[in-house]
Amino acid sequence: MADPSTSPPLTRASVFEARELIKGLVHHTPTLTNATLDRLASTPALVTEGDGDAGRKPAKPRMRLYFKCENLQRVGAFKIRGAFHALERLKREPGWEEGGGRERGVVTHSSGNHAQALALAARTHGIPAHIVMPSISAAPKIAATKGYGAKVVFSGSTSVEREAVVEKVIEETGARLVPPYDHPDIVLGQGTLGLELLEDSHDIIAAATGAEPSHAKNHGARPAESSFRAPITTPKFPESKKANAGLDAILAPCGGGGMLSGVALACEGTGVRVFGCEPWFEGADDAKRGYEAGKRVEAVSTLTVADGLRTPLGKVPWGIIYERRLVAGFYSVSEDEIIAALKLIYERFKMVVEPSSAVPLAVALFNEDFRALVEREGGEDGWDIGIVISGGNVNLEALGKLFAPKEA
């Protein structure tokens, strides 16, 4: 990975630059709407029994949701954006190519989407990739990573054991480390999905209200892929949206925070508020706790069903999210709420997504603090809310068990 000191400044303009660098290498994924989910989100009293909201008077928010479908992204997750951007920046690092950097390759430790993303991005550029995975990783994940041409190196399961193996690979091969989220180049790459979501949801609203399309207002000619957006249904809009066709807020899942902080950069100065969404099971809401206490929580140990969100917030994301206050706040949900939202996505939205991707919808449907905010600030007009669907890589067998009715 390029030395962070050579990274572009962490600004909205740098996210636009990142988009130029990875154009043609990643998909411009569709932004979709769904009338049933809008109706459910705008119905009071979906409150799950037994959590802290029991007995509380349900809020009556109005919401129109815009789903950014990164499950339809290459390798099935947004991670490919950061991986390609990291390599593009690395290629531009003075001396890297000449010093034999390409031959020495890249290395990371991941058993998830970042592993496959880096493997594919590296193969595309003819760069060797070493992926350190715990030897207990699921066979299909190992196979998929090898399928993208990476060299898989096994390690123990703890982060200490994994990092030791990474060090060894670096020593032996001279490969450059590409971390999964805690680096400016990764943050800027992931942020590109935020730009697409802002523009495409704006255009859906503009098409229905007669407001100006986003490119007229924001930044010249649109990329050709912008025709990929696909509103399945067009919601009814209040009169006020003619003047302001933009989103009011974006809900994004937060694990290590690379994507959330990138989206926050993409929204800087636009007036669109970005919120982080987490499970709270076994302390998985580390970002929320850290944000509220003013101190980053550095370790988490949780087995939340949202397995992409088990990681603590990284330092670079923390600077954007908390120190610069580019994220407006955090909301957390229970395991049951995540599974209920996940089931709705499968049954009503017909999209294959991983559990982590259901966390923002769970916040919109079930978190009474967030719902009360939308009622209070959105009023009769309601809010237009972007929902980041982060990925779609699931074990289909395990999914059946997740949806099975609980035994009494």
Residues with catalytic roles: 79, 111
Angle formed by the axes of helices 258-266 and 184-209, nearest 10°? 50
Q: Which of 352, 369, 372, 381 binds its own copies (CB under 8 A)?
A: 352
Q: Which of 94, 233, 303, 379 binds its own copies (CB under 8 A)?
A: 233
Among the residue ranges 85-93, 162-170, 183-191, 229-237, the one whose residues contact its own copies (CB under 8 A): 229-237
| Residues in 152-211 that interact with its own copies by CB under 8 A | 207
Tokens of 146: 């090898």
Q: Which of 229, 289, 296, 310 binds its own copies (CB under 8 A)?
A: 229
17/22 Cα distance (integer angstroms): 9
The residue among 311, 407, 315, 402 whose CA lies nearest residue 355 is 402
Interaction of residue 404 with its own copies, rule CB under 8 A:
yes
Among the residue ranges 172-180, 228-236, 242-250, 287-295, the one whose residues contact its own copies (CB under 8 A): 228-236
Tokens of 44: 């009071």
Interaction of residue 403 with its own copies, rule CB under 8 A:
yes
46/366 Cα distance (integer angstroms): 6
Q: Minimum distance between the CB of residue 71 and its own copies, rounded to whole angstroms?
A: 5
For its own copies, the closer CB: 154 or 228: 228
Q: Which of 72, 127, 142, 387 binds its own copies (CB under 8 A)?
A: 72
Interaction of residue 228 with its own copies, rule CB under 8 A:
yes
Q: Which of 401, 406, 407, 408 binds its own copies (CB under 8 A)?
A: 401
Interaction of residue 399 with its own copies, rule CB under 8 A:
yes
For its own copies, the closer CB: 13 or 232: 232
19/194 Cα distance (integer angstroms): 11
Tokens of 390: 């982060």
59/311 Cα distance (integer angstroms): 31
Among the residue ranges 8-16, 38-46, 69-77, 271-279, the one whose residues contact its own copies (CB under 8 A): 69-77
Q: Report the phi/psi class of residue 222: left, alpha or beta, with left for phi > 0 and alpha for psi in -120 to 50.
A: beta
Interaction of residue 343 with its own copies, rule CB under 8 A:
yes
DSSP H/E element including 211: none
The residue among 217, 201, 232, 192 whose CA lies nearest residue 386 is 201
* Contact pattern from residue 74 through residue 113 relative to its own copies, giving x for each residue in contact according to CB under 8 A and a dash for the rest: --x-------------------------------------
259/268 Cα distance (integer angstroms): 14
For its own copies, the closer CB: 18 or 72: 72
The torsion angle over the Cα atoms of residues 251, 253, 255 and 260, rounded to 10 degrees, is: -40
Q: What are the E-state strand segments in 110-169?
A: 129-134, 151-155
Q: Which of 270, 351, 372, 377 binds its own copies (CB under 8 A)?
A: 351
Interaction of residue 230 with its own copies, rule CB under 8 A:
yes
Interaction of residue 231 with its own copies, rule CB under 8 A:
yes
Q: Which of 25, 166, 340, 353 binds its own copies (CB under 8 A)?
A: 353
* Contact pattern from residue 240 through residue 279 relative to its own copies, giving x for each residue in contact according to CB under 8 A and a dash for the rest: ----------------------------------------
The position carrying tokens 């929902």 is 387
For its own copies, the closer CB: 295 or 403: 403
Which long-range contacts (C-beta less than 8 Å, at least 24 apart) are formed by 227-231? 228/27, 228/28, 228/29, 228/30, 229/30, 229/31, 229/200, 229/203, 229/204, 230/30, 230/31, 230/32, 231/31, 231/32, 231/33, 231/204, 231/207
Judged by DSSP in three states, 177 sits in strand
| Residues in 13-32 that interact with its own copies by CB under 8 A | 27, 29-30
For its own copies, the closer CB: 164 or 230: 230
For its own copies, the closer CB: 27 or 242: 27
The residue among 303, 249, 256, 314 whose CA lies nearest residue 280 is 303
Q: Which of 45, 299, 396, 408 binds its own copies (CB under 8 A)?
A: 396
Residues at the contact surface with its own copies, assessed by CB under 8 A? 27, 29-30, 71-72, 76, 207, 227-233, 343, 346-347, 350-353, 392, 396-401, 403-405
